[in-house]
Structure 1
């Protein structure tokens, strides 16, 4: 059984499952170079097929995540194309008129017509751009998507199936890890096919939906407050989360009550306590004159406490104390840490990249789950967990050598061939900052060593250098470490033995961790979002960290994604060398070659 999973909304992606195992997964943004790209992910699909060494004719089914997508937003690639000014424009010229002036038939598309160069080029949008929220048009768009996928991939329509958005999240969170026990599956996000919050149970591999709502606005509140802080919604919520620990209790307590009065827990879900006309203008008025850090701290506290109350309520009513948490809100790692630190809650399991980018994987799992329900016990197919996220495009060393020769890089750079990991470890230990573009690309939000910027985690001054001269990002944002699996307990406290391979969980640090990871933990609250590395998962990266430990006695490296601010993570050697040429990185490490800047 071969299944090709497709997600064509924002953060579009493709995944390939063969005999119940995910063998490839790619995000379209890595190929198009448009962060958060939308639409039919043709380049990602082709890469997945190439990785699996199959043609589209070998595929038994195409599993498409989500029945409903808004054609207007997809056409203009809203989340990918919008600047902060565009988001404000949307609020002022569309939503304000809808909520406050009661104008119901404003042409949303006309507000942004001719604003963007990168528009969707695959789907047929004829007669679909006049209204923003028309359910009949959204239903019609599903038929257009089906037609387009079939035509562009030369694949029969009767072998293309659409799967419910929320359930793709749920089956991804359940099947990702090997430990699959009875528990409560919870989604919380901006919007899915039928909800923005759902609660169900998984018992003996069977899922039952217990409750859902469209009033669970945890994600929207965090999104609009991110915008009010001058940052991009649906991309920069992590910046709000990173800013929150700097706030004093005094500033948080001034703002928190205004958030707390909006939502409440009712039975198995979240609904309004006090419903404002809208969320953006409501909070804009209330927060006028408030400190920016206090706002960030208050909304983080609000998310944590509301989730805790919600999860405890679900535990009480459903008599289960294990949680599978997914959707955009689940990507708030500090909230997940808060939940796992709650004494009365069992394990809260969050898979990596729990938002929409992994819907293509979830669609594959959803498809296999349904097929197994139709089979007798002895005929059921094994559904494999995902051991690592190195599921993407793989470098070809010859391409790199040819590029270096063609562009005569040896005239401008020091070229080191057939190096050993000790050589790279020594470079890092001397305070230099390198990029690493090796092996298969990671899927998801986090760089896990193969498309990473690496540095000495002991040197606090490294933070400023990377932030200002390389990543060009906000000064308050923390970095994270990759640590040897066997040394993990030296650096942080993991009381519930949560999987920390993917930088999707946060923990409190130990005294040793605070001392030796000064540049790779949060400077304000000393929390850590680690990647533990086993040799069996990534031999060359493990050997590099081990070599660094042999020199420094610290089995960890500072690890941040290999990209410039606002750009997707590097795909290949061309992207990696562009970053080297346009930043203060000292070197770029490939599988067999180091390209190093010559000292003046």
Structure 2
């Protein structure tokens, strides 16, 4: 038996996974246990969970795979420092970061006292881990592989071809050029300063027009080989120290753009200033530029390799709008984006890189994301007993579903009445998306459902869309493309004749970020949506993450607490159903 522990450590979205003989047993982000979004540092709690789920101790782990290698591209790093002479504080800061990342064994000794770790630590180059995380768990035996993000191990992108268990890396984009830095800097300029805020700019983009695209083309310069370069006068990261926080808490990144970007595009928006049409146009223009550069790379790779399939990873693979256009804007016909495409997912790629380097064969395709903690009815009942006084004080009732069909029927009926339902089932999702096990559900037919959700629970920007979970067999009737999208990583146009029927999940441009649901992968969620379809004629429900300005809930106690402190109408914990008095 070969046990491999994969880690994304000392960076945002710290995470761990565990493989047994090449099959993934568990995976989780540290934020779900620490309750701090994008938690950065050493993922000790995620490791504890993975070990417990696999039924092993740390001493039984033979290999630890870390998705970074401080020795990677060392020559390029030295040459850059000598030739470009960046601020010495920038060099010193990067050296300190890399030194901290070298101490996995020391972290084990501190976090797991009394459990001797005698295994081998493997340092896997950042983008090779990303490529593996996409290709080695995909349904493809042969595919082009692409990783695009901010930076990792002195590179911001890598691409090549995967065949069987082998990935041949044929090209990379190196520091200081980065499509991820471009997108993050524009996100900051528009007034979204927090780590991970790029999805807000993506959600704002459809409200604007690409009026600044020509200016964007002066910032991102496409190259004949499919790569890209930045107009560096618009950025700070390459010549001066940008503050980064990657250790023991919420990650943070300092201002990436320079006065040169302001001179070109106008002043930055302060976070408390109103969003104007100019900001919406900047968002649309930045999204259009990202797509132009991304599709330029993909088209070049297709022309070179003539393969139909592409596997995509890296932080930029979270751009579901661009992902949904790949088959329309490039010759690729098949696309796979894994459920944790960003840095968290690098732990999976690092682990599989080691497994295949050891001679291991390909394992099962990752067609679901349910790798996190799960809780049975007994665990739920214990939580309900412990919190009974609080439940009663809010006028809530608890009942037990009489069978699967009744559970699906009654929950669907509540959604159809316009109620907001917390849905807590099975094992927690791996990755940032709620995929029907840690979800808040609503009626996609109600034009006011977005306002209801924002009033009762989410309290987020009004321009951000909510997503539909759709029966796989009905996708072609409602969307202009027909594909498996189990991880909510692609946005497709909704058929024009259907848009008015589902306004709550139709974005302003007529698109929707769908999740396809099958009975084989998630039978209870599929049954619920099927019941809603039978009652309403609509084969989908609105799905948003089960949280309130916090990481997605992990445990029944967290789900109950979120329910009680918000204005959700109904909570389904496994087969246990809580209702507020007004929803009875």
Task: Provide the TM-score with structure 1 as the length reference.
Answer: 0.83
* C-alpha displacement of 1:311: 1.8
CA distance in 1, matches of 2:198, 2:261: 16
SS of the equivalent of 1:506 reads strand
Of 547, 558, 561, which residue of structure 2 is paired with 1:578?
561
The answer for the alignment partner of 2:193 in structure 1 is: 232
SS of the equivalent of 1:570 reads coil
Deviations 1:354-412 (A, max 9, x none): 1101111111111112112xxxxxxx534222131011011232233223223322353
Of 250, 258, 261, which residue of structure 2 is paired with 1:283?
261
CA contact (8 A) 1:14 1:26 kept: yes
CA distance in 2, matches of 1:515, 1:297: 24
SS of the equivalent of 1:436 reads strand
The answer for the alignment partner of 1:455 in structure 2 is: 442
CA contact (8 A) 2:441 2:544 kept: yes
CA distance in 1, matches of 2:441, 2:343: 27
The answer for the alignment partner of 1:145 in structure 2 is: 104
Matching of residues 550-589 of structure 1 within 5 Å: 550-565=534-549, 567-589=550-572
The answer for the alignment partner of 2:169 in structure 1 is: 209
The answer for the alignment partner of 2:274 in structure 1 is: none
CA distance in 2, matches of 1:68, 1:305: 32
* C-alpha displacement of 1:543: 1.2
Of 481, 499, 515, which residue of structure 1 is paired with 2:500?
515
- Is 1:526 equivalent to 2:510 in the alignment? yes
The answer for the alignment partner of 2:76 in structure 1 is: none
CA contact (8 A) 1:147 1:157 kept: no
Aligned pair in 2 of structure 1 residues 513, 19: CA closer, same or farther (>3 Å)? farther
SS of the equivalent of 2:187 reads helix
4+ aligned runs moved over 6 Å, structure 1: none
Of 182, 205, 212, which residue of structure 2 is paired with 1:221?
182
Aligned pair in 2 of structure 1 residues 587, 267: CA closer, same or farther (>3 Å)? same
CA distance in 1, matches of 2:231, 2:67: 34
Unaligned runs of 5+ in 1: 70-101, 109-129, 373-379
The answer for the alignment partner of 2:425 in structure 1 is: 438
* C-alpha displacement of 1:272: 2.9
Matching of residues 176-575 of structure 1 within 5 Å: 176-181=137-142, 183-214=143-174, 215-248=176-209, 252-253=210-211, 255-272=212-229, 274-276=231-233, 278=235, 280-281=257-258, 282-288=260-266, 291-342=278-329, 344-372=331-359, 380-407=360-387, 408=389, 409-411=391-393, 412-419=395-402, 420-494=407-481, 498-511=483-496, 513-522=498-507, 524-565=508-549, 567-575=550-558
State the Cα RMSD in Å: 2.4
SS of the equivalent of 1:391 reads coil
The answer for the alignment partner of 2:94 in structure 1 is: 133
CA distance in 1, matches of 2:579, 2:117: 50
SS of the equivalent of 2:582 reads coil
The answer for the alignment partner of 1:161 in structure 2 is: 122
CA contact (8 A) 2:311 2:335 kept: yes
Task: Provide the TM-score with structure 2 as the length reference.
Answer: 0.85
CA distance in 1, matches of 2:130, 2:561: 35
The answer for the alignment partner of 1:85 in structure 2 is: none
SS of the equivalent of 1:428 reads helix
CA contact (8 A) 2:59 2:117 kept: no
* C-alpha displacement of 1:464: 0.9
